[in-house]
């Protein structure tokens, strides 16, 4: 849970998730969407992967990232429990 909240506590990482909502993207394509160095984006992707919010698959020299919304169920449950 902590890892999940931590991963979402950054606007860059939230925007990455929004980008991946449409299509899966390579690390480079994701980096192109930001005015930030590739290593920084790589670090953000690593945090998202650790939180299980994205999955990474190596395709040749590329790494393709895709969204994994499964883990968000836990957060939804936590929030809804608070509300009722």
Partner DNA sequence: TTATTAATTAGATATTTATCTAAATATTAA
Partner DNA sequence: TTAATATTTAGATAAATATCTAATTAATAA
Enter the tokens of residue 63.
């790494």
Site string for its own copies, 2-41 (x = CB under 8 A): x--xx-xx-x--x--xx--x--------------------
Angle between helices 38-50 and 11-22 (to 10 degrees): 80
Count of residues in contact with its own copies, rule CB under 8 A: 22
Compute the least distance from the CB of residue 60 to its own copies, in Å: 28
Least distance in Å: CB of 81 to its own copies? 8
Count of C-beta atoms within a 10 Å radius of residue 11: 8
Which of 41, 67 has the CB closer to its own copies? 67
* 7 and 53 Cβ atoms separated by less than 8 Å: yes
**Among its own copies, DNA, none, partner that 69 touches (CB below 5 to 8 angstroms by kind):** its own copies
- Measured in whole angstroms, the distance separating CA 67 from the mean position of its chain's CA atoms is 7
């Amino acid at each position: 849970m902590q890892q999940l909240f931590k991963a979402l506590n950054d606007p860059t990482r939230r925007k990455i998730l929004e980008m991946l909502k449409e299509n899966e993207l390579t690390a480079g394509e994701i980096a192109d969407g930001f005015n930030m160095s590739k290593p920084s984006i790589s670090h953000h992707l690593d945090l998202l992967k650790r939180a299980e919010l994205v999955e990474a698959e190596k395709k040749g020299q590329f790494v393709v990232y895709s969204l994994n919304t499964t883990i968000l169920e836990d957060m939804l449950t936590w929030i809804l429990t608070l509300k009722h």
